[in-house]
Amino acid sequence: MGFVLAPLVRFGVFIQRRRDLGDSPRCHARVTTAMTASRKLDVSPDTDTLSRRVADMVVEHSDDAIRARGAFNVAVSGGSLPSMLAKYLVQPDVADKVQWDKWNLFFADERCVPLDDDESNYKLVKSALLDRISIPDAQVFPIDPALSPEACAAEYQARMLKAETTGSGFVAPSGSGVVFDLVLLGMGPDGHTASLFPGHKLLEEHTKLVAHIEDSPKPPPSRITLTFPVLNAARCVAFLAAGSGKQEMMVRIHQQKDSTLPAQCVQPENGTLIWYMDSAAAEKLPANVA
């Protein structure tokens, strides 16, 4: 099914286009979804506006989570996402309103390299965001790069399961899962997200919360990543996609519902899925989709 949530809405000088695409086909990775979340597309005219809208969304989710549960548990990925996320989030008119001391920041995926390596997602997030705001160090959760990839993933999973803030609802009552308030993801030109790559055996992982990969098709080869059970348990997942290089993937995901693409398999069971994109990325989407 598919219906337009609202007519085109004007925000300043541009038109924000949103659509609920309803249930998507079951992906080949056998992600089980009792109820597929609404999928909202939020198209901005440029990356500057996109960054501003994402910052506003993050602040809103932070406020709501802290008000309801006393903490904000968020996971972020790497690539171009940290700089796009931080552009407005660190500005005083935004940052001064955020209760950073209530944040717990995790990584949706990470390269198994030293934390000061240029390939490290932690380093990207630290320079773009963490060095400019005031999240307590104990509430930022980098990997332990001294461990083997397999041990690193197991240790990160164990640390997540011990990170419950009283009343925040992060660790599931069973003690075997976690529920993020927000997961922020990017998408590669091949449709991968986090470190979940098309055709890889990790797409079939349904037991572990954090898995390791040592044969990533994109360097560096050794990484850890959150798995679909974690991503699809989140209260909200937001993708950021910008630039004409994402056009083909936007069509394959939002129009063709290509279930071979990991990004298409991210469908929160009881949460919200939002795709933030600029007009360049959305260029080839038909009007009845975007």
Task: Look at residue 128 and give its three-state secondary structure.
Answer: helix
d(CA 197, CA 214) in angstroms, rounded, equals 12
- 240: β partners: 276
The number of CA neighbours under 13 Å toward the Cβ of 26 is 8
Q: Going residue by residue through the chain (290 aa), what tens digit of pLDDT does each one get?
A: 332 333 223 232 233 333 333 333 345 433 332 233 478 999 999 999 999 999 999 999 999 999 999 999 999 999 999 999 999 999 999 999 999 999 999 999 999 999 999 999 999 999 999 999 999 999 999 999 999 999 999 999 999 999 876 668 899 887 789 999 999 999 999 999 999 999 999 999 999 999 999 999 999 999 999 999 999 999 999 999 999 999 999 999 999 999 999 999 999 999 999 999 999 999 999 877 75
| Token output for 191 | 């449709």
Q: Which domains does the chain have, with CATH numbers?
A: 47-278 (3.40.50.1360)
Q: Element (H or E) spanning 122, and its range? A: helix 121-128
